[in-house]
A = this chain, B = another copy of it.
Amino acid sequence: MTQAKRRPRRPGATIEDVARAAGVSRQTVSNVLNAPHRVRPDTLARVTQAIERLGYQPDQSARSLRTGSRRIIGYLAPVDDPFDPNPLMGGFLEALVDAAGAEGHRVLLVRPPHGAADPRPAIDELIAARQVDGFVLADVLHGDARVAHIAEAGVPFAAFGRTAPGTPQQWVDVDSVGAMASVVDHLAGRGHRRIGYLGSTSELPWMTDRLEGFSAGLRRHGLDDSPVLELTTADGDTARTVTAVRGLLRGPDRPTAFATGNDMLALTAYEAIRAEGLTVGRDVAVVGFHDIPLCRLLNPRLTSVRLPLRGIAAELVRRLLAQVRGEPVPGKGLLLPAELIARDSTPAREA
């Protein structure tokens, strides 16, 4: 009685319970779980059945203590930038949880406390308490302080976004250049010869990549000496952006299509086009970037570039766990292609 009182254990079955139920010893049960091939088939069946019946699962804390593997991945979420609403936060996180789950790992969310900018203490705590096997980072920039810190601590990680040359090249990223070039392909294929680009002044690598891809696309189609219209505007200042786009639409060589750096900018383009009395899609085609859910709700529905989030997540998990397990890992980063989702904002044009 006192003993029962003393352990406030949840009704969870222990390995011993299973062993007793199956008439074997603890270690046999352990073997069934961790090295099934070393157990005789009939014994295995009996034990497996007992496991099922009792709903047994090893206590992860005990297992971790013993093996050193936590089966948990720490996810360092980016701080959401309200001006470039992050498609990652929704879709990528889901993809990451799925990918980790497929490998028997869970995802623990890490964020510096509200107000604190430096994520390193939060990272250190997790490492010191040995709560994670490694980290996945999103929105990684070249000189990312988090990467440097984690790398120095000698903890495995994998980054969504290219890391600096000096640090481990454990990253996966979207081929933004190629993606934006394919946007130009798409528009050129629909007969557009004057294509504007609506980007952002931000120096974020993916933003500069998109502009670069746009230029490359124009060149590929011999449009680089046709009126190239590049417009970079201050983030968040929608009204000014609308004005600028309207100016372009009134100019002599009015663009018949716009490629944009993200879906919100595409929305701004919609507004400017309408303000000029033109019809989006028919008069001026628009392509967004990110393919956030909003795209399907706009009128006309917005053609956009969908990031391969599931692929990225899977690849990140694969690389991270390879490091954790001490398996050989590719020493180079990986670039994944994005996919253009054609919708009503870029209709096929009459010849």
Question: A: which residues have CB within 8 A of B?
Answer: 8-12, 55-62, 64-65, 68, 70, 72, 75, 77, 80, 82-83, 85-86, 89-90, 93-94, 97-98, 101-102, 106-111, 113-114, 122, 124-131, 154-155, 236, 238-239, 242, 264, 267-268, 271, 274, 293-294, 296-299, 310
Contacts and interface: CB of A to CB of B under 8 A. Distances in A.
Given A108-B72, A109-B97, A238 B60 contact: no
A109 B111 contact: no
A236 B114 CA distance: 35
Nearest to A82: B293
Contacts of A268: 297
B294 A85 contact: yes
Given A106-B131, A114-B310, 13 more contacts: A56-B128, A59-B129, A61-B65, A72-B108, A75-B109, A85-B293, A93-B109, A97-B109, A98-B111, A98-B113, A101-B111, A242-B299, A271-B299
Nearest to A295: B82
Nearest to A74: B106
A30 B268 CA distance: 59
Given A106-B108, A129-B59, A82 B296 contact: yes
Nearest to A236: B297
Given A108-B108, A297-B83, A65 B72 contact: no
Nearest to A122: B101
Contacts of A106: 108-110, 126, 131
A83 to B, nearest CB: 7
A117 to B, nearest CB: 14
B108 A57 contact: no
A45 to B, nearest CB: 21
Contacts of A8: 68
Contacts of A297: 83, 236, 238, 264, 267-268
A64 B59 CA distance: 10
15 contacts: A8-B68, A9-B68, A57-B125, A57-B128, A59-B129, A61-B70, A72-B108, A80-B90, A97-B109, A97-B110, A98-B111, A107-B108, A236-B296, A271-B299, A294-B294
A216 to B, nearest CB: 29
Contact of A55 (B128, B274, B310): B128
Contacts of A242: 299
Contacts of A55: 124, 128
Contacts of A11: 154
A239 B299 contact: yes
B80 A298 contact: no
Nearest to A274: B274
Contacts of A77: 94
A266 to B, nearest CB: 12
A56 B56 CA distance: 34
The listed residue with most B CB atoms (<10 A of its CB), out of A85, A97, A102, is A97
A85 to B, nearest CB: 5
A94 B111 contact: yes
Contact of A90 (B64, B89, B102, B274): B89
A40 B167 CA distance: 46
Contacts of A274: 274
